[in-house]
Structure 1
């Protein structure tokens, strides 16, 4: 999928192996490609949505009684569910529409959205941002994070969102289960408060209130309040943590009370997604600090911590190396 396909129409997409594969499996890299394609060519958005809806209609599993609905009505229904722009129709597309007439009932209104979330909320480095999801769930995104979700949040019988970066959620209690998708983890919850983080190769789930099930491949763990789930090698593990310390980024202030360098390293890894490398120097990990530090800017946070612990941080992308300050 290294071609941008700037002129693709719906009928072209329905014959494209990459598009068909994304509809069947929704692999992350395929999903990201077509989301990026939609953003790059906004004039093609209607074609993308039409292709997805027609694909859904042609692959429905339900038995539907045949009706005499004509091609024009099919197009009117599809256009009404997308955007009010002129509908492009090629001869091949009319033939495709005609081929699915038997799947559409007059009173059914059967139209399906594509698998990709239709709404995107992206964050900058400017600070945390609170968002209210359509079901009443509160979500606070870390700087540099992103959340994607369908406008119709419970469209498939369960509420689903996709998170890159870090987020805190207070999930509203509803009958439909709530699912958070990370890079390779899935979190299933029912009315709870928790943090998720997915950056680079780091993925963690921290539970503040309620109960969640974290799954990855064929592994799963159940979390109780005050526990964190993370991957260690090929294992999915959990441990008890100070949840208040790891949630400080949400309020913009971290509170420390005799907090050790070892705890800070864990904080940088679990809450901010850094891989921290520390020399094996006597007494370094046991150094302590107390007080509060602003957490709304990661660069300022790292600088303040370096001064407080008398160390230097050398940062390369998501890797931080700790260098003791020999002058102190």
Structure 2
């Protein structure tokens, strides 16, 4: 999902509402409205304010130029313009535009407009890994069947807030004045600017730090993690002790390869089951702790199972959609 663009020239919207926009301008406005739900919401509120202003326009006696300038400032658009149309002149609708300021002051519509035009953005991966950029320029990589809600409304405060379900890798844009806080299954993960992985499962949440510092908070407890450290937090109970990150398998969905470094077979199988949505069973109990050091670069599950079979002199049987290691 891409960030919806709210920015557009407000004078262009006024001309559109008055049916004074050219054909090209009308196409530009209508295209912008249909680009994102947030754009339509912005336009609907703008139209509401504009229509209301007509009821008192006839009795208004205020400085039109100054009022129009204040209106533009208070709409608080982004500095990057989504639509750039050269302006020829201000039309005789400036009086009505100025009255908008009165309506905003009387009914608080402006505050409602600027708050509701910002929204909770939802990023979802469904059946494929998704890489996207948040409004604060942080980059996220969502594993399959995961989602992130980013609350744009908090951008006007002193914190950036998001809520995660599933698994994601974060490369957070540094901003010392606005920490990035992620709510995940009863935990808060708080950072300034760093890169880390969060995986939420039914019984636990895992946090692995690649760079910078991460603070994990549960109730009145907190633990600080640095590069090369991980924390596995059970759904119930206190925060455990942190550990050194010994495996790089957590990174498979981002790197598209399975990196094994003296990795026990059971751990690799666990990740393969998740990645390929398959069912691999190790019946040979002794084989569970066989250690493997290699890299599988984006290979098929059949190829990987063949390599495991040959490496450890095991027998792999494929039956009813399952792989059984004997």
SS in 2 for 1:124: coil
Q: Which residue of 2 aligns with 1:132?
A: 133
SS in 1 for 2:286: coil
Q: Do 1:164 and 1:198's aligned partners in 2 also have CA atoms closer than 8 Å?
A: yes
- 2:231 maps to 1:236: no
Q: Do 1:256 and 1:289's aligned partners in 2 also have CA atoms closer than 8 Å?
A: yes
Of 187, 202, 210, which aligns to 1:200?
202
Q: Which residue of 2 aligns with 1:252?
A: 256
Any gaps of 5 or more consecutive residues in structure 2?
1-36, 46-74, 77-104, 310-315
Q: Which residue of 2 aligns with 1:178?
A: 180
Of 283, 289, 294, which aligns to 2:298?
294
Moved more, 234-243 or 166-175: 234-243
Shift of 1:167: 0.8
Q: Which residue of 1 aligns with 2:325?
A: 325
Q: Residues 281 and 150 of structure 1: is their aligned pair in 2 closer, same or farther, counting only changes over 3 Å?
A: same
Shift of 1:277: 8.6
Aligned length: 225
What are the within-5 Å matches in structure 2 for residues 24-43 of structure 1?
A: none
Select the structure of larger CA radius of gyration. Answer: 2
Q: Do 1:226 and 1:240's aligned partners in 2 also have CA atoms closer than 8 Å?
A: yes
Distance in 2 between residues matched to 1:221 and 1:271, nearest whole Å: 29
Distance in 1 between residues matched to 2:244 and 2:318, nearest whole Å: 27
SS in 2 for 1:264: helix
**Which structure is higher in helix share?**
2
SS in 2 for 1:135: coil
| 1:123-178 CA distance string (max 9 Å, x none) | 1213x221111111111111221111123452332001111111111111112010
Q: Which residue of 1 aligns with 2:166?
A: 165
Moved more, 276-285 or 233-242: 276-285
Q: Residues 231 and 276 of structure 1: is their aligned pair in 2 closer, same or farther, counting only changes over 3 Å?
A: farther
Q: Do 2:138 and 2:171's aligned partners in 1 also have CA atoms closer than 8 Å?
A: yes
CA RMSD of aligned residues (A): 4.6
Distance in 1 between residues matched to 2:277 and 2:206, nearest whole Å: 9
Q: Which residue of 1 aligns with 2:213?
A: 211
Shift of 1:251: 2.2
Q: Which residue of 2 aligns with 1:142?
A: 143
SS in 2 for 1:284: helix
Q: Residues 264 and 106 of structure 1: is their aligned pair in 2 closer, same or farther, counting only changes over 3 Å?
A: same
Shift of 1:324: 5.3
| TM-score after normalising by structure 2 | 0.54
Q: Do 1:289 and 1:308's aligned partners in 2 also have CA atoms closer than 8 Å?
A: no
Q: Residues 314 and 201 of structure 1: is their aligned pair in 2 closer, same or farther, counting only changes over 3 Å?
A: farther
Distance in 2 between residues matched to 1:313 and 1:285, nearest whole Å: 21
Q: Which residue of 2 aligns with 1:123?
A: 125
